[in-house]
Amino acid sequence: MDDVLTMELSDDERSLLRWGLLEWGGPASPTDDLARIMGFESAADLYLQARRLAEAVRTDQGLTRLDWTRALVATEFVWASDVFGSGLDAVLTSGFSDTEGVVILRSIQRKLSQAQARVSGRSLV
């Protein structure tokens, strides 16, 4: 079993990660292939796991390296992609301007860089 890691994240960082996970149950439209790239078994698994991960982020629970990586990648895709994610609408649904969102996302990326799972072939391990 993977070790559980806790991360010191600001309220804004937690808010953006939580939004990035839960947005997949709203306007964002993942395919099964995209969900697998993000480390989930399918789009249905992404919807299921996103709720669990968002709650863990909200309540400051630890996550495995794989789960931290899934949360980050899901947020990166949903923030940036106007095809699969919220893209241009992210400023409306996240509560953060583009500038604020990018600054917060970069901060999360820096903090989680040590916790990221490895990518092997086409999947996260």
Confidence of residue 3 (pLDDT cuts 50, 70, 90): confident
pLDDT in tens, 62-109: 999 899 999 999 999 999 999 999 999 999 999 999 999 999 999 999
pLDDT of residue 31: 93
pTM (two decimals): 0.89
CB 26 within 8 A of CB 92: no
pLDDT of residue 54: 97
